[in-house]
Amino acid sequence: MSLRTKVSLAFDLRDLVADAPRGEVPDPTVPFNERGAADDDKLRETRDDVVAAIRDTLTRGFRSSFVIAALFAVVAALAAAFVVRTGAGATSSRAVAIAAVIITLVGTLLVAELAAGGRSFGHQEFVDPCDAPDDPFPQGHGFDGTLQRISLSAINGAACKLGTSREELLLSLDARGDFGPEVTWTRDTLEDALRAGLVRAIDDADERNTIPGLVATALKFGAERAPIDWALGVWPHIPRLPDIPFLED
């Protein structure tokens, strides 16, 4: 999808979760459907992927509870089987057979689930910004694809510099401050993030041979030394970018 659509959907989903009444589960399909997922294959595919990721993650969250409940059920079944005894006090052959069947069924079920991917089900892998590839958006083409490569490279560089994930970095920019761990933003922190992002974007472009090495060196020299005040000044005036309060000082 285009960068504009992705950014708009991110804000829509943020608002959907933030505005949902306490105790009510918001419907993540709404922003996608309102933007035409019914007629847009890429938007519909992304919607389904997002919904599946949320569903699988929530399912995984109940894993420990279900395991504990299942263990209690197995123990209860075994205990019930071995209660049946003969007059001499020896365990009946029927009880032993029932116990063996229960253990076999449980073992078979566990092996089958692990073989089907149960161990990794619902586990979301997040990209380490410090080890991210130099082409973070290889499927993109044209101007928009180039812009997404540069944006992702810059986010990777900033997140790596600040020692956080790129997801937490972006969430920390939300002025509403309702989501996840936050970066402690100061003017120095923002300057470090901007410089690191610019340098990383240039390095990645150099690695992809998008720009000549000498040009990359000159650009990095400028990114590392140029004044950042102009970027801090225009930040609040860019549409839909979050308003960081200290920038108003």
- Each residue's pLDDT tens digit, 100-126: 888 888 888 888 887 877 777 878 778
Residue 249 has what pLDDT?
Answer: 46
Residue 87 has what pLDDT?
Answer: 46
E-strand stretches of the chain = none
Residue 200 has what pLDDT?
Answer: 94
Residue 248 has what pLDDT?
Answer: 46
Task: Tell me the pLDDT tens digit for each residue of 188-214.
Answer: 888 888 899 999 999 999 998 888 888
Residue 240 has what pLDDT?
Answer: 46
Contacts of 235 (CB under 8 A, 6+ apart): 241, 244, 247
Taking each helix axis as running N to C, give the angle between helix 41-61 and helix 63-83, from 0 to 180 degrees, rounded to the nearest 10.
50
Residue 72 has what pLDDT?
Answer: 87
Residue 199 has what pLDDT?
Answer: 93
d(CA 17, CA 172): 16
Percentages helix, strand, coil for the chain, rounded to the nearest 5?
A: 65, 0, 35
Q: What's the whole-model pTM score?
A: 0.68
Residue 239 has what pLDDT?
Answer: 47
d(CA 205, CA 53): 31
Contacts of 12 (CB under 8 A, 6+ apart): 31, 34, 35
d(CA 114, CA 119): 6
Length of the chain: 249
Query: Which portions of the chain are predicted below pLDDT 50?
Result: 86-88, 238-241, 245-249
